[in-house]
Structure 1
Amino acid sequence: MSVFTRRDRAVEGSQGGGDRGRNARLVRPFAALGLTAALVLSTVPMAAQAADGELTPGPTVYADPESPTGYTGRFVYYDPDATSVRFVADILLRNWADRTDITVYQPHQYEPGLMRGGGGYDVEMTDAGDGYWVTEVPLAAGANQYWFYVDGNTSAWLADPANSPIFAPDGISFPQRRAFNKVFVPYDEAKQDFAPLAARQIELPREDSAKGTWSYVPIDIPNQTGRTLGVYLPPDYDPNRAEPYKTIYMQHGGGQDQSDWMNMGDVPVIMDNLIQDGTTEPAVVITTNTNYLGPVGNQAVPGDAYPNLRNVVIPFVEANYNVSTEPIDRAFAGLSAGSFVTQNLIRDDADQFGYYGPWSGGVSVPASTPNLAAPYIHYGGGAWDFGLPNANTVAALDDVGFIENTVVAGAHDFNAWNQLFTIFARDYVWHPEAFLQDEVDTLKADVADAGLNKGNTNALTVKLDQALKLVTAGDSVGALEVLNGFLAQVAEFQTAGKLTAEQASALTTLAEKVTFNLGYWVQ
């Protein structure tokens, strides 16, 4: 029989369960071990209440006034042959409000300012009899990932049979695949009370949002059989729309496959919500499997990396879906091992995609990469992520290209990667102005420091502001005209002795970097 007491009525939206954090122990802070991660995409209904004796397999999340987050998750695992079951989840906490604090906090220690990213919470589940195993744990907002170990076998990260991810038919098999299940947890304004955590509500399914669709679509790959792509189509996808959709390609990490971004990565839910909010364009999202993309290629031979991506996958997508064939309308991002794929694509052929997102895989793109100033590159990682790109290395690369870097609360896990996908899809893809802003700000600061009179300073500054506004409005041609006017005026000021050769050179070099970028895509 159940050992749990009756709690308050459950709230909208999710799964959950588990022993209180006092029974937990800290395991090595792998938080998805750098390559793993996959949770579910399914939404488990909220129970009306978490009552004594309730042993429904799967997770249930319910409002709990005794929980420090306002919510408790109850997890029930059924296996009549098991002698022990451990519940594991990437839900240990770190102090995002004060990153000098190196403490790893247990879930029951939650207080505002803490975020997931401390690694794996690992607890023995309670044997409730008749093959049922139960645990409860406080949970905070967003998509939370968990899995099980049965009979002490930590090599097999088991899916929740009652809440399993929807795996690709040609994906990695167990035990090589590390299964992550996903449970959605609401945000309690009073108890959780932390803006970065409130932002993770974007990961929660909304009853009132239009829903896109996703599935695994067969694709013929040379010398391989039974291969599939993950394909997300936005709400009301129109195969005959006059303006083709843009495309985002998402690459998994090691120990994962094309399932992970669609499941624990929460791409369909996040896209549905961003589209409803009007903060991203409806786009087609493709997930691929590294095992069929082909060899990484020879760094000395441009254009030969991942030939099946170039010659099979992209042509297949562009032939079968109403998507743009222009590289500037394609984005490619990947986590961990997928970051290496992303960076290999950049060094191999930087303009194959207009936007890139290498996350949690360090920095491996050489500054000497041809046409590095053409694409827009968004590096990122979790604050407690062993694959976090080095900020100084990214900054040095930004001297050559158009690079942004985002650090979020999280480790080498989907706590970081879900946030990075949200930020990428909302703030960076199809937004060249987000990448050009730093260069424009630097130009304006250099103009302000040049010792020009107010009128001449304003004449140059106004042009820079106008150019950025035109880029934001999608008028790169107009922005180029304005910037060419800026360059001509800088030359005039140098000739007139109003700017030194050194000042004019600095302004010209940076402005020409911007004009190269804009001009590259309007040729």
Structure 2
Amino acid sequence: MKNKILALLLLTSSFIQAQEALFSGQQVSSPQVHEDHSVTFRLMAPGAESVQVTGDFLPSVKVKTPMGEADGPGKADLEKDEKGIWSFTTEALAPELYNYAFIIDGFKTTDPANPFLIRDVASVMNIFIVPGEQADLYRVQDVPHGTVASRWYDAQDLGFDRKLSIYTPPGYEQSDDEYPVLYLLHGAGGDEEAWLSLGRTAQIMDNLIAEGKAKPMLVVMPNGNVGQDAAPGAGSDGYYTPQFMTPETMNGKYEAQFMDIVDFVEDNYRIKADKANRAIAGLSMGGYHSLQISRFYPNAFDYVGLFSAAIMPREDKSGKGVYADFEETLKAQKDNGYKLYWIAIGESDFLYEANMEYRELLDKIGMPYEYTESEGGHIWRNWRVYLSEFVPLLFQD
């Protein structure tokens, strides 16, 4: 009888602890998006001496990164009430997807009341959306939805299988049609998951296609770090701290083996396998990769997009001379012909001058391109906009 009572007590205690764990983050509502687009953040922390919120909805500050000075999120102080609840309400915010975190007595952490998180390199942040205008592209709407799959391909030149993510448009599974393909590349510190989680690619594609602003297409999002087979925690190396610049980053090997990815897609999906129906684009490091891949394989892509491209000299270890004869191969790419060469960057991006110098080179050799300039710096807010502007330009002939 005593054993039964003890077991019952243990079971009851476990149930209470589980209930506490379940509801501990729900003592306050945070973040609360108001009708006027202001947002209130709250945190139950009666023992804390100071609480701040930091996020990209606040005025940016300059921070140092491994690639130079860049825009970073600002901070705002929360105020504590008599119940030990800290709060801060913003001014009206523009429609956008925002990220944030709390700083409690100097310790940065996520919001326990908000279970929605994204990872950017090794930083984990909460997210919320202020609806309307551009931000409605980032929301799941009541429209037909595409499919996102994780696939592994044989990277023959690298000697092991690697992971990529593929978006297929609504109706792909029920159709016999063939589709064009956009190869979409991430930046330094990213992986095959970055454009889906941080870039909202699936939501953007679903909504643009539903609005008739974009052709149905596949979007292939590979891992651009040649030393990885997959994102941290998703590959054979198991769980480890993600790095901003992985070994062998931007050394030519990724560009040299890129046609292994194209071959895999064309062997396994119903696609239009020609230059006129292939596009390649990327942000930062991925913009650099897109520049080099499209130049090195001039018969592969009719559409090229450089989003805040990290245009800088790098040591070539591909063994195939990927970075050799740069200006001459650009001229060959120009002479070979293409339908769109699209460059976009923020006016305060730390790569702005490098992109202006690259434009001067293109002007000198008479290589046609389209250019767009936005506010802000090296941030996902810009890259989501660039994607939503670039995609409607593809495959319209």
Give the TM-score normalised by the residue count of structure 1: 0.53
User: What is aligned with 2:170?
Assistant: 235
Match of 2:268 in 1: 320
Instruction: Indicate whether 1:146 and 2:100 are aligned.
Output: yes
SS at match of 1:367: helix
The aligned runs of 1:191-210 (5 Å cut-off) are 198=133, 200-205=134-139, 207-210=141-144
Alpha carbons of 1:62 and 1:118: their partners in 2 closer, same or farther (altered >3 Å)? farther
With over 3 angstroms needed to count, the CA separation of the structure-2 counterparts of 1:59 and 1:412, relative to structure 1, is same
Q: C-alpha displacement at 1:264, in angstroms?
A: 2.3
| CA-to-aligned-CA distance 1:123-154 (integer Å, 9 cap, x gap) | 24456799976443232112223344565356
Q: Which segments of 5 or more consecutive residues in structure 1 lack a partner in the other structure?
A: 1-53, 64-69, 95-103, 105-116, 188-197, 432-473, 475-523
Amino acid at match of 2:327: A
1:400 and 2:345 are equivalent in the alignment: no
* Equivalent AA in structure 2 for residue 185 of structure 1: V
Contact map agreement 2:226 2:254 (CA 8 A) in 1 = no
Residues 484-514 of structure 1 show CA distances to partners (whole Å, capped at 9, x for unaligned) of xxxxxxxxxxxxxxxxxxxxxxxxxxxxxxx
What is the one-letter code of the residue matched to 1:330? R
Which of 261, 272, 292 is the equivalent residue of 2:206? 272
Q: Secondary structure at the match of 2:382?
A: helix
Cα 1:296–1:124, aligned 2, differ >3 Å: closer, same or farther?
closer
- 1:368 and 2:313 correspond: no
Match of 2:288 in 1: 340
Q: CA deviation at 1:357?
A: 1.1
Describe the shift of the 1:382–1:297 C-alpha distance in structure 2 as closer, same or farther (beyond 3 A).
closer
* Native 8 Å contact 1:360 1:386 kept in 2: no
1:245 partnered with 2:199:
no
Mark the CA change 1:278 to 1:319 in structure 2 (over 3 Å): closer, same or farther: same
Within 5 Å, which residues of 2 pair with 1:244-263? Answer: 244-263=178-197
| Aligned counterpart, 1:412 | 378
Match runs of 1:112-511 below 5 Å: 119-125=72-78, 134-138=87-91, 139-149=93-103, 152-153=106-107, 162-165=115-118, 177-187=122-132, 198=133, 200-205=134-139, 207-221=141-155, 227-238=162-173, 240-242=175-177, 244-292=178-226, 306-311=255-260, 313-361=261-309, 363=311, 366-369=326-329, 371-373=332-334, 374-375=337-338, 376-388=340-352, 390-391=355-356, 393-398=358-363, 399-426=365-392, 428-431=393-396, 474=397
Distance 2:263 2:47 in 1: 49
Assess, with a 3 A threshold, how the Cα gap between structure 1 residues 210 and 240 changes in structure 2: closer, same or farther. Answer: closer
Shift in Å, 1:86 = 3.9
Query: What does the per-residue CA deviation read over 1:17-53, in whole Å, with 9 as the maximum and x for residues that have no partner?
Result: xxxxxxxxxxxxxxxxxxxxxxxxxxxxxxxxxxxxx
C-alpha distance 91-55 of structure 1, shift in aligned 2 (>3 A):
same
Deviation at 1:77, TM superposition (A): 5.8
Partner-residue secondary structure (3-state), 1:372: helix
CA drift of 1:221 comes to 4.8
**CA distance in structure 2 between the partners assigned to 1:122 and 1:150 by the alignment:** 12
Q: What's the CA shift for 1:369?
A: 1.6
Q: 1:162 to 1:296 in 2, by over 3 A?
A: closer
Q: Give the match's secondary structure for 1:262.
A: helix
- 3-state SS, counterpart of residue 53 of structure 2: strand
Contact 1:92–1:118, Cα closer than 8 Å, also in 2: no
2:390 and 2:341 map into 1 onto residues whose CA distance is 10
| Cα-to-partner distance string for 1:363-398 (whole Å, 9 max, x where unaligned) | 469432253212332111112211235446415414
8 Å CA contact 2:346, 2:375 repeated in 1: yes
Equivalent position SS for 1:140: coil
Distance 1:392 1:122, change over 3 A: same
Give the deviation of 1:239 after TM superposition.
Answer: 5.9
Q: Give secondary structure in 1 for the equivalent of 2:279.
A: strand
Q: In the alignment, is the contact (CA less than 8 A) between 2:311 and 2:351 conserved in 1?
A: no
Shift of 1:158: 9.0
Shift of 1:184: 1.6
Structure 1 pair 392–76 and aligned structure 2 pair: CA distance change class (3 A): same
Q: Which has the greater radius of gyration?
A: 1
SS of the counterpart of 2:280? strand
| Amino acid aligned to 1:372 | Q
- Whole-Å separation in 2 of the counterparts to 1:382 and 1:410: 5
Aligned to 1:448: none
In structure 1, distance between residues paired with 2:45 and 2:57: 24
Q: Does 1:90 align with 2:56?
A: yes
The one-letter code of the counterpart of 1:230 is S
Instruction: Measure, in 2, the Cα distance between the counterparts of 1:288 and 1:306.
Output: 12
Contact 2:137 2:208 (8 Å CA) reproduced: no
C-alpha distance 180-418 of structure 1, shift in aligned 2 (>3 A): farther
Structure 2: unaligned runs, 5 residues or longer: 1-25, 62-69, 229-247, 313-322
After superposition, the Cα gap between the structure-2 partners of 1:219 and 1:393, relative to the gap in structure 1 and judged at 3 Å, is closer
Moved more, 134-143 or 379-388: 134-143
Residue type matched to 1:339 in 2? G
- RMSD between aligned residues: 3.9
The one-letter code matched in structure 2 to 1:356 is V
- Identify if the C-alpha distance between structure 1 residues 60 and 297 changes in structure 2 by more than 3 Å, giving closer, same or farther: closer
Q: CA deviation at 1:361?
A: 2.4
